[in-house]
């Protein structure tokens, strides 16, 4: 934890680099002492349960079976990869952070990587937990979504950050004193979520909020440079696949939301795919899982679309039958009011 006054003095040149580094170490030590003095009840970690993933698009029993089959879903550092047929075929990476999933739309493919690949990933709005296990068709459009991978992530520093650490060590400051890893014992999933929270907020130039045992971190000053971090995915389909994210403060894309009609800004990230431990990218994929089939239901995207369309029509027919039994429901302009099931599905999709 770096004191805001230290950052202010550094920004306006009141401290030498050596004095600034020493002040950083002192501030972090003070933060660790405050952390250890916190009551134990504030350090309890929430574990996810099957009910956190309940959605109108699956039965409670189905969700419970998936939750039991993929224990990574209970961890704080889980991720989901969804194949999404929309305007273009792409993949959505959803990374759990504080009860929601920070999400990126990745064009082309994550499957069958044969060499180092680079992609332009668009950060989308955070998604609710209930959308994590969604498979089906958009009730108001042709989009089809299937779950392609489930697992846990690990966070690593970018090459630029590693070079900065090397420079810090060369100036005589022990790198171990400038990290939080030696504070108090923590569960691995909570620690990885903390690393992701800190890395993401720093890259987008925001203050890192205090969560549980982890103290607040002030927003970094805008130095005009690009910043990044690395995620390693270890799941059912991808194992040891590393994604290097890099973002600059001015790299933003604007578009109109198809759900709200409002202009939205989305961050653009440069994404590089490579393998951990000097492996080839092709070795990161588990070929026992067919490339054209969902991880959850082993259906193809075409089958998911057909099943979802049939199910959605059945729900509308059931709503119409309910309306006939209870009497016709119309709105003020004389149009038919949507049924409860249809409202639930479309409402859940808009929240996603």
* Mean per-residue pLDDT pooled into runs of 10, the chain (352 residues): 45 52 65 53 73 88 95 96 87 95 87 69 92 86 89 88 66 50 69 96 93 90 89 92 91 80 89 75 80 92 90 80 57 47 51 45
Residue 82, Cβ neighbours under 10 Å: how many?
24
CA distance 235 to 86: 25
pLDDT of residue 1: 46
Is residue 307, in this structure, part of any structural domain at all?
Answer: yes
Range of the domain at 271: 38-326+335-352
- pLDDT tens column, 2-59: 454 444 444 434 455 566 567 666 666 665 665 555 544 445 678 899 999 998 788 8
Is residue 269, in this structure, part of any structural domain at all?
Answer: yes
pLDDT of residue 170: 66
pLDDT of residue 263: 84
pLDDT of residue 96: 97
CA distance 168 to 162: 10
pLDDT of residue 229: 96
pLDDT of residue 277: 65
pLDDT of residue 39: 47
Is residue 101, in this structure, part of any structural domain at all?
Answer: yes
Cβ atoms of 82 and 294 closer than 8 Å: no
pLDDT of residue 182: 44
Farthest CA pair distance, the chain: 80
Is residue 23, in this structure, part of any structural domain at all?
Answer: no
Give every CB contact of residue 314 below 8 A, 6+ residues apart in sequence: none
Is residue 261, in this structure, part of any structural domain at all?
Answer: yes
Is residue 192, in this structure, part of any structural domain at all?
Answer: yes
Domain count, the chain: 1
Is residue 12, in this structure, part of any structural domain at all?
Answer: no
Is residue 28, in this structure, part of any structural domain at all?
Answer: no
């Amino acid at each position: 934890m770096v004191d805001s006054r230290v950052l202010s003095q550094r920004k306006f040149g009141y401290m030498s680099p050596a004095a600034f580094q020493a002040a950083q170490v002192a501030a972090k030590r003070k933060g660790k002492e405050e952390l250890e003095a916190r009551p134990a009840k504030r350090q309890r970690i929430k574990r996810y349960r099957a009910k956190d993933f309940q959605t109108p698009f699956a039965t409670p029993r189905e969700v419970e079976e998936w939750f039991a089959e993929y224990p990574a879903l209970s961890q704080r550092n889980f991720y989901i990869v969804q194949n999404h047929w929309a305007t273009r075929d792409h993949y959505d990476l959803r990374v759990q952070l504080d009860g929601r999933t920070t999400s990126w739309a990745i064009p082309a493919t994550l499957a069958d990587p044969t060499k180092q690949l680079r992609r332009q990933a668009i950060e989308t709005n955070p998604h609710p937990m209930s959308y994590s296990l969604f498979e089906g068709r958009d009730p108001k459009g042709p989009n089809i979504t299937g779950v392609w991978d489930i697992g846990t992530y690990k966070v690593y520093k970018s090459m630029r950050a590693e070079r900065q650490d090397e420079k810090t060590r060369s100036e005589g400051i022990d790198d171990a004193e400038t990290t939080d890893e030696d504070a108090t014992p923590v569960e691995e999933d909570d620690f990885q979520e903390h690393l992701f929270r800190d890395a993401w907020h720093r890259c987008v130039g925001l203050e890192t909020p205090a969560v549980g045992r982890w103290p607040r971190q002030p927003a970094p000053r805008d130095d005009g440079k690009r910043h990044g971090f690395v995620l390693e995915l270890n799941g059912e389909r991808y194992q040891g696949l590393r994604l290097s994210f890099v973002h600059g403060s001015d790299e933003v894309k604007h578009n109109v939301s198809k759900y709200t009609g409002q202009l939205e800004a989305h961050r653009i990230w440069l994404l590089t795919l490579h393998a951990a431990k000097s492996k080839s990218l092709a070795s990161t994929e588990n070929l026992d899982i067919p490339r054209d089939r969902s991880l959850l239901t082993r259906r193809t995207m075409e089958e998911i679309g057909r099943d979802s369309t049939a199910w959605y029509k059945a729900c509308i027919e059931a709503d119409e039958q309910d309306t006939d039994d209870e009497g016709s429901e119309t709105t003020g302009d004389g149009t038919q009011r949507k049924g409860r099931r249809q409202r639930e599905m479309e409402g859940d999709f808009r929240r996603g």
